[in-house]
Amino acid sequence: MTTAPTVTAATTPAPAARARRKRSRSTAVRMVIAVAATFFFVAPIYWMVATAFKTGNQAFAAHPVLIFTPTLENFRGVLAGSAFGYAVINSIQVSVLSSLFAVMLGSGIAYPLARFPFRGDKHVRTWIISLRIVPPVVTIIPLFLMMRAVGLTGTLTSIIILHTFMNLPLAVWLLQGFYADVPKEIEEAAHIDGLGPLGGFLRIVLPLAMPGVASTLLLSFVFSWNEFLFANILSGANTRTATVALTEFTTPVGTDWVRIMAAGVVVAVPVWLAALAAQKYLVRGLSFGAVK
């Protein structure tokens, strides 16, 4: 009489064990992809920062110099030995003012769109965001002629105006969604307590939507800070922004790479600090209204 062979757990792995090994392999693959992607994006930033603290001989050595004594000479040359420091101050003024104006004007358009729907309001929002899609190079000539006609070329005022209206469609599009996510019942209760429409907006809606407003303000600041075309065409010798002033380190004789890297670090620091300061509001703002 023959007996059937017994199958032990050692020879035939259980489904749970196979599932765990599959999940482990999947996790390992994702980790490798994440590390590779992180290195791909971080490596240029690291190289820029490292080069900014190197001397010219170290930066252009035949073999990459990974261990060196940092020097601040490049930053001294950028901030004290040129007009780049004044350009950074100009960029701060332009970016801060244009971002504030974009959010203020955008709130005046976005709040009525969010609270008082009407027939065709979706088409209006689509038309507003389409203005942001138009390439800036298409509008730069008529805008330059308009600014020259009113005598604003070569001034920071012209750049602030254009950056404000450059960011206004994006601000309206974002703020309309943030304001719409604030429950109407809270605002109606405030009206019953005696607050008018303006008071209800300033004291109820705006504080509740502040994470979204901060996110919009930060994005507008970044877009204004990085903008080059309008600032290059409309700025003068004393009103250049940081992105335009970066070109002064490239001359017909050659390119001062170590100072360009130092200037690049200086340009990146304000955006990094602004994002770090608004990190809490930025995370809350990007997920605002996602969970009810």
Q: Break the chain into its structural domains and give their ranges.
A: 74-286
Residue-wise pLDDT tens digits, 129-177: 888 888 888 888 999 999 999 999 889 999 999 999 999 998 998 898 8
Give the confidence band of 292 by pLDDT, cuts at 50, 70, 90.
very low
Tell me what percent of the residues of the chain surpass a pLDDT of 70: 90
Contact status, residue 160 vs residue 97, Cβ threshold 8 Å: yes
Diameter over CA atoms, the chain: 109
The rounded distance, in Å, linking the Cα atoms of 200 and 195 is 6
Give the confidence band of 113 by pLDDT, cuts at 50, 70, 90.
confident
Query: Exposed, middle or buried: residue 5 (CB in 10 Å: 0-12, 13-18, 19+)?
Result: exposed
Element holding 159 (H helix, E strand)? helix 156-180
In order, the DSSP letters of 3-53 are: -PPP--TTTS--HHHHHHHHHHHHHHHHHHHHHHHHHHHHHHHHHHHHHHT
Q: What is the pTM of this model?
A: 0.80
Three-state secondary structure call for residue 255: strand
Which superfamily, per CATH, for 74-286?
MetI-like (1.10.3720.10)
